[in-house]
Amino acid sequence: MTGPMFALSALLSHWARHKVQAALLLLGLALATALLTGVQAINAEARASYDRAASALSQDNLPRLVAERITVADYVALRRAGWPVSPVIEGEALIGGQTLRLIGIEPLTLPSGVAPDIGLAGDPTGFLTGEVILSAEALNDPRVRPAELPSGVALTDIGVAAGILGPEISYLLLTGDRPAPPGYALIHPATTDLSQLTESFHLNLAAFGYLAFGVGLFIVHSAIGLAFEQRRGMFRTLRALGLSARALTGLLLAELLVFALVAGAAGVLLGWLIAGALLPDVAATLRGLYGAEVGSGLTLRPVWWLSGLGIAVLGMLASAGQSLWRLGRLPVLAPAQSRAWGRESARAMRAQALAGAGLIGLGAALLAVRGLWAGFGVLAGLLLGGALMLPMLMAALTRAGQRLSRGTVAQWFWADTRQQLPGLSLALMALLLALAANIGVGTMVGSFRTSFTTWIDQRLAADLYVEAADEADATRLLAWLGNRAEALPMIRTTDGGTQIVGMVDHPLFRRAWPLLRALPDPWARLDAGDVFINEQLALRRGLAPGDRVEQGVIAGIYPDYGNPMPQVILSWDRHRALYPLPVLRYALITDIRAAEIRAAFPRVVVEDRAAIRKASVAVFERTFAVTAALNVLTLGVAALAMFASLLTLSSLRLPQVAPVWAMGLTRGRLAQLEFLRTLALAALICGLALPLGLALAWVLLAVVNVEAFGWRLPMLLFPGDWLRLGLLSLLAAGLAAALPVRWLARIAPAELLKVFAHER
Amino acid sequence: MNVKAIMLILMACAVSAPASGQGFAGLGSDAGGFEMPGPGPFDFPADHGPHPTFRIEWWYVTANLTAADGTEYGAQWTLFRNALAPHEAGGWASPQIWLAHAALTTATQHLAAEKLARGGIGQAGVTAEPFGAWIDDWELSDHMAARGEGFAFDLALHATGPIVAQGDGGYSVKSAAGQASRYYSQPFYAASGEVELDGKRIPVTGTAWMDREWSSQPLAADQTGWDWFSLSFDDGARLMGFRLRGATDFVSATWIGADGRPEPQPPGALRLTPLRSTTVAGREMPVEWRLELPAKGLDITTRALNDQAWNALSVPYWEGPIRAEGSHPGHGYLEMTGR
């Protein structure tokens, strides 16, 4: 063995003797890497789905002609008059046991580059004249062939689609910039695509990923600090034996890199599992909220390995940088005196608090700036600033505790707690961040849920909602209903990325569309040609009642939760004149049961109020299921950080504990006090996390939500949740303290005596 | 989907392609299930219409036009029928695919456009009586009209002579191995109307020539391309001649008297000699030729009105007006697939 190899084996022997420490280091880094790569994997998968959708179905980017009814003869008449149109028959179809969006295209007139390479070269005859359905889904249908398509979509020739969905043409794609021919309405493509629409959602996820990563690095930092601290004697010996400072640093760096790679690899696998577990929820949310189809399958891409390992190495270097830097400057014969790890002078603490206040101030200043990034800037400033100010606040609190306490033991308890603060501050910061994030997000979700459920109960005012497959079906249904039901037609189209709703003036709708702000007598104005717009549109464009949009003067603004799109309501007659579309949807005021209609009209989709409410609330709950899951994980990471720090401190604190023991406090009593101290610290952190969390909730509700989704919600408080969270964190702190405390309670008295014998 | 993919559909219509290749545009592939052409008289007017049991068919009109100031123009209107299966069906289920090319040529410009449509729904098709062929807003009946990016034409067509059967009474042999098509022409159209170029409408007059051909396997597998002439001489006679390039070249010609009487020439009687080539779209194309038909005392040189008359469409080829000088002055059209 050569010199460096001896040195390396000496360095590594430390980990063999401190297995828990090694495990913590690996676990911390693996968890941090896992959360970040998991979230990134989810986002990457979703974005890949959007790209697939965009490249596969760019027909959505073309203007289209719609009419109440388009027959093949109508299409041919337009072609023969020189209109560059291509027909599409599109609808929901049950294929191989799965409901898919079936799109029937006419390949010969389809504008170039609209459809994906659908493999026509291999079997053109099949696609044009055979029964071939292309889909990315594995479907139990002999007609289906695999193809690179967005999930939930099947592509086929228009002839096949006509056989499944009926001969009527859904719409005509129009190439070129031309006005609509008489009898047709021109619907413009949306100006925003899916990735823009969902950007805020992914930004939310990413922010959580980074938060979890930051918290995870706290663990790594404390574990590395401990390992370096405990090996100070060994470092000195190695240096005295002739190992250069550079060689020692290099060896330690190599050691850390190995740890980083092992933890990174574990983290990538763990992240993959997390992403796989969360993806179905995310996919369901994206579908419910944005209509975006994201596949639920996740492949472990090579790029994740690269980025995951990179993240782990960077995180490791960031966590170990300080320790390595100090080591490099360690004089050869420096006394191996035990330095309170991470001790900071009062001055450094003040500077840190000042920086924290500065960050909070910067965040507050960002409130003046619009945009989602500014919103997250406010959040980051608040969280980081709060964390940086924590040591100063804790010092002040413990000082106050000391002043208020009677008796020497109590006074020692507070003073000793303050003495420990520098070593614990990182773990405490992690706990503070996790708790504040939990309170903030919990308050936001709770406020949202309350507003949302009230709103949806109001919105769903009719008894049944029906949608016919075609106009003939609708006519038969209305005749069948006769006077057993009052049927209110509903219609909506999307033009230029804005939903345009035609609304009948009826007391039911007046009840169901409460207005946030309005001009006097808004419904009469709507009938007279004014419009209502949703809150999203109003906030996005800074509009108020009395302002104008393209469709007319705004008479009212209504809440429209869960809808990412801008929406405009026109009077029924105006909508009919602008968009001559078939009327297929009706709200029914009736005591007929849904099942009765379904039995008589199998092709009519019937939903009752309760079912729609249930589905909407489910979408809502899923939207925040991921948030909740990440919240729990973050809290878990924080508890681990706490545990790591306490473990670190417990061995370092012997010189402080031994004199107290010598003065007559039993080991059991000491352990009790240690336990109590941990709980007291956790309780203090809970108290500090509450205002920070509420501030966070306010930013989320008043800034981030408004920017991301376009709706502003009242902030509601849920003290019950706080109590539960507080107890949970006390429990976590208690568990974290259990092992070190047990160790202290059972420590051999000889160990304590050694402190006085300088034999450590 | 791009046009290339569509063309692949058309190309791939062979059920089993011969290993030696499919020649130009798949025309040399097997007939697989389709009807084979045979000799015999035509059945007019039914034969003006489509023959869906044959795999490929075309209505092909070229016109040599002159404006009042003497400027020369060439106009092409072509409708191809391509069958994916040897039958017709109504609605979207039709296996008949229609492809059309239109082009307008001047000495300095050549503009071409393409259209695709499926049969069965009425977007494109041909009726025999009264005769009419169409795809979208392009039409061919007693007038021919088409419109593309930057050009358009609408020309009234008036037949001044009889329909001419090509080959052996309309049975046109295309190779020594016996590949053949049904083929007739109307080489005696007088054309008059307007061409539109860059938004400017120009009255023109001239002559036009229609070729009608259908087959299921018109080329031998080794025949990879052709050079095809249709010429109207100032003395009223007409000449159709082609060279199919393969392992051995196959040259065929029909001399048409001013009265419309066809005189099929024996294979090889027409001698075709390229005189000058130019680079078009990266290929060497002979744009000047010497044509000799000793039996008729014919010895002429043909020159292209525009060397760059290249139809850069999904199946690219050279198609342009030519002028003949020598023993028989006149004008006509030349089509070359290049090598």
DSSP 8-state symbol, A704: I
Tell me the pLDDT band of A282, cut-offs 50, 70 and 90.
confident
Q: Do B95 and A129 touch (CB under 8 A)?
A: yes
Average pLDDT, chain A: 82
Mean pLDDT of A266-274: 88
The range of the structural domain enclosing residue A581 comes to 464-590
- Mean pLDDT across the stretch A421-442? 82
How far is B117 from chain A, CA to nearest CA, in Å? 6
For helices A654-662 and A667-699, give the axis angle rounded to 10 degrees: 130
Contact B12 A121 (CB under 8 A): yes
Question: What is d(CA B22, CA A748) in angstroms, rounded to the nearest whole number?
Answer: 93
Q: Do A113 and B2 touch (CB under 8 A)?
A: yes
- Domain assignment present for residue A30? The answer is yes
Are both A621 and A583 inside the same structural domain? no
- Is residue B222 a part of any domain in this protein? yes
Contacts of B3 in chain A (CB under 8 A): 112
Which residues of chain B lie closer than 8 angstroms to A115, CB-CB? 1
Within a domain: residue B113?
yes
**How many A×B Cβ pairs under 8 Å?**
86
The answer to whether A58 faces chain B, any CB pair under 8 Å, is: no
Residue of B nearest to A127 (CA): B9
Q: Is the pLDDT of residue A711 over 80?
A: no
Decide which of A543, A572, A590 is a domain's last residue: A590
A181–chain B Cβ distance below 8 A for any pair:
no
B91 and A107 within 8 Å at the Cβ level: the answer is: no
Distance CA A348, CA A323 (A): 17
Closest partner CB to B84 (pick from A73, A82, A128):
A128
The verdict on residue B12 lying in a domain is no
Domain presence at residue B316: yes
Please give the pLDDT value at position B12.
37
Give the long-range contacts of residues A516-520, CB within 8 A, separation 24 or more: A516/A556, A516/A557, A516/A558, A516/A559, A517/A544, A517/A545, A517/A556, A517/A557, A518/A545, A518/A555, A518/A556, A518/A557, A519/A545, A519/A546, A519/A554, A519/A555, A519/A556
Which residue from B minimizes the CA distance to A114?
Answer: B1
Question: Is A728 a member of any domain?
Answer: yes
Reported as a pLDDT band with limits 50, 70 and 90, residue A368 is: confident
Domain membership flag for residue B179 = yes
Instruction: Specify if A352 maps to a domain.
Output: yes
Contact list in B for residue A155 (CB cut-off 8 A) is none
* A154-163, A241-250, B299-308, range with the lowest pLDDT: A241-250
Contact A125 B5 (CB under 8 A): no
Tell me the shortest Cα–Cα distance from B13 to chain A, in angstroms: 7
Q: Give the Cβ contact number of residue A266 at 10 Å.
A: 19
Last residue in a domain, options A148, A168, A187 = A187
A179 and A201 in a common domain: no
Give a yes or no: residue B24 inside a domain.
no
Domain assignment present for residue A40? The answer is yes
Residue A169 shares a structural domain with residue A213: no
In angstroms, the CA A233 to CA A636 distance is 33
- Calculate how close chain B gets to A605, using CA atoms only, in Å: 28
User: Is residue A268 located within the same domain as residue A148?
Assistant: no
The pLDDT of residue A62 is above 80: no
Q: What is the pLDDT of residues A559-613, one digit of tens each?
A: 888 777 889 999 999 998 888 888 888 999 888 888 899 888 888 888 888 888 8
Q: What is the pLDDT of residue A213?
A: 79
The total number of structural domains that make up chain B: 1
Going from the C-alpha of A713 to that of each of A450, A478, B66, B334, the distances in angstroms are 10, 39, 76, 75
- Ranges assigned E (strand) in A391-539: 464-467, 485-495, 498-503, 517-518, 531-534
- Residue in B8, B84, B121, B196 to test binding to A, most A beta-carbons within 10 Å: B121
Chain A residues with CB-CB distance to B15 below 8 A:
none
Q: Mean pLDDT lowest for which of A21-35, A224-238, A450-464?
A: A224-238
**Could you tell me how many helices (H) and strands (E) chain A has, helices first?**
25, 18
B-chain CB neighbours of A73 within 8 Å are 122
- Cross-strand pairs, B134: B125, B139
Residue of chain B whose Cα is closest to the Cα of A71 = B121
Q: Is A262 in the same domain as A362? A: yes
Distances A382 to A356, A437, A698, A705 between C-alpha atoms, Å: 9, 11, 11, 17
Task: Confirm or reject contact between B102 and chain A (CB < 8 A).
Answer: no
Tell which of A128, A164, A168 to mutate to test the B interface (max B CBs under 10 Å).
A128
Please tell me which residue of chain B has the smallest CA distance to A161.
Answer: B92
Residue B11's pLDDT is 42
- Centre a 10 Å sphere on the Cβ of residue A91 and count the other Cβ atoms it contains: 17
Bridge partners of A145, per DSSP, are A134
Query: Dihedrals φ, ψ of B253, to 5°?
Result: -155, 150
Task: Report if residue A606 sits inside a domain.
Answer: no
Radius of gyration, CA atoms only, chain A = 33
CB contact under 8 A, B12 and A124: yes
Q: Which residues contact A665 (CB under 8 A, 6 or more apart)?
A: A409, A673
Q: Closest Cα of chain B to A58: distance in Å?
A: 11
User: Which pLDDT value is given to residue A197?
Assistant: 64
Angstroms from B31 CA to nearest CA on chain A: 15
Name the CA radius of gyration of chain B, rounded. Answer: 19
B243 to chain A, minimum CA–CA distance in Å?
A: 31
Q: Which residues does A167 contact at the CB level (< 8 Å), separation at least 6?
A: A71, A72, A89
Chain A residues within an 8 Å CB radius of B12: 121, 124-125
Name the pLDDT band for B258 (thresholds 50, 70, 90): very high
How far is the C-alpha of A58 from the C-alpha of A49, rounded, in Å?
14
Q: Which residues of B touch A79 (CB under 8 A)?
A: 117, 123, 136-137
Final residue of a structural domain among A537, A572, A590: A590
Confidence band, pLDDT 50/70/90 cuts, at residue B6 = very low
Mean residue pLDDT of chain B comes to 87
Would A69 be classed as within a structural domain? Answer: yes
Cβ-defined contact of B85 to A125 (cutoff 8 Å): yes
Mean pLDDT score, A296-301: 68
Residue A161 makes CB contacts below 8 A (sequence gap 6+) with A89, A90, A91, A102, A103, A104
Q: Which among A73, A116, A158 is the nearest to B92, CB-wise?
A: A158
Q: CATH no. for residue B206?
A: 2.40.370.10
What residue type is assigned to position B13 of the chain?
Answer: C
Residue B143 banded pLDDT, cuts 50, 70, 90 = very high
- pLDDT at site B230: 95
Residue B7 has pLDDT above 50, yes or no: no
Structure token digits, residue A593: 């049961």
Contact B121 A76 (CB under 8 A): yes
Per-residue pLDDT, A96: 82
Q: Kindly identify which residue of chain B lies nearest to residue A162, measuring between CA atoms.
A: B92
Are the Cβ atoms of B136 and A159 closer than 8 angstroms? Answer: no
Reported as a pLDDT band with limits 50, 70 and 90, residue A59 is low
Dihedrals phi, psi of B186, to nearest 5 degrees: -120, 90
Q: What ipTM does the predicted assembly reach? A: 0.90
The answer to the question of residue A628 being in a domain is yes
Tell whether A150 and A88 lie within a shared domain: yes
| A29 and A70 in a common domain | no
Burial class of A477 by CB neighbour count within 10 A (0 to 12, 13 to 18, 19+): buried
A111 touches chain B (CB under 8 A): no
A357 alpha-carbon distance from chain centroid: 28
A121·B8 Cβ contact <8 A: yes
- What range does the domain containing B262 cover? 52-336
Report the percent of chain A where pLDDT is more than 90. 14
pLDDT at position B25 is 52
What total of structural domains would you count in chain A?
Answer: 3
What pLDDT, on the 0 to 100 scale, is given for residue A337? 47
- Tens digit of pLDDT for each residue in A599-655? 888 888 888 888 888 877 877 777 677 677 767 777 777 777 777 777 767 767 778
Q: Give the closest residue to A184 by CA, choosing from A60, A89, A65.
A: A65
Q: Report the residue from B93, B95, B118 with minimal CB separation from A108.
A: B118
Which pLDDT does position B17 carry in this prediction?
A: 31
| pLDDT tens-digit readout, B147-194 | 999 999 999 999 999 999 998 899 988 877 778 899 999 999 999 999
Is the domain of A641 the same as that of A730?
Answer: yes
Q: How far is C-alpha A165 from the geometric centre of its chain's CA atoms?
A: 38
pLDDT at A406 > cutoff 60: yes
- Inter-residue contact A465 to A612 (CB < 8 Å): yes
Chain B positions touching A116 (Cβ under 8 A) are 1
Residues A117-146: tens digit of each pLDDT: 555 544 556 677 677 888 877 778 888 888
- CA–CA min distance A602, chain B (Å): 27
pLDDT at B15: 29
Which residues sit opposite B83 in a β-bridge?
Answer: B96
Residue A192 belongs to some domain of the structure: no
Cβ of A107 within 8 Å of Cβ of B93? The answer is: no
Task: Report the pLDDT value the prediction gives residue B109, as an integer from 0 to 100.
Answer: 95
| Chain A residues touching residue B94 (CB < 8 angstroms) | 129
- Asked whether residue B11 is assigned to any structural domain, the reply reads no
Residue B303 pLDDT > 90, yes or no?
yes
B104: distance to nearest CA of chain A, Å?
19
Of A80, A121, A159, which has the smallest distance from its Cβ to B93's Cβ? A159
- Which range (A31-40, B85-94, B228-237) has the least confidence? A31-40
Residue where the block lists tokens 């911390």: A28
Say what the pLDDT of residue B20 is.
33
The whole-number pLDDT of residue A2 equals 63
Same domain, A447 and A506: no
| Mean pLDDT for the stretch of residues B291-303 | 96
Instruction: State whether residue B92 sits within 8 Å of chain A by CB.
Output: yes
Residue A192 — very low, low, confident or very high, per pLDDT cuts 50/70/90? Answer: low
Based on the fold, state whether residues A367 and A389 are members of the same structural domain. Answer: yes
In a domain, B16, yes or no: no
Judge whether residue B4 has pLDDT over 50.
Answer: no
Cα angle A750, A755, A756; round to 5: 100
Closest alpha carbon to B337 in B32, B96, B24: B24
Tell me if chain B has a CB within 8 Å of the CB of A115.
yes
Q: Which chain A residues are Cβ-neighbours of B147 within 8 angstroms?
A: 82
State the Cα–Cα distance between residues A311 and B29, nearest whole angstrom: 59
Task: Show the DSSP H helices in A231-345 as ranges.
Answer: 232-240, 245-290, 302-328
Q: What is the 3-state secondary structure (H, E, C) of A375-395?
A: HHHHHHHHHHHHHHHHHHHHH
Same domain, A409 and A468: no
pLDDT value of residue B8: 39
Chain B residue whose CA is closest to A58: B1
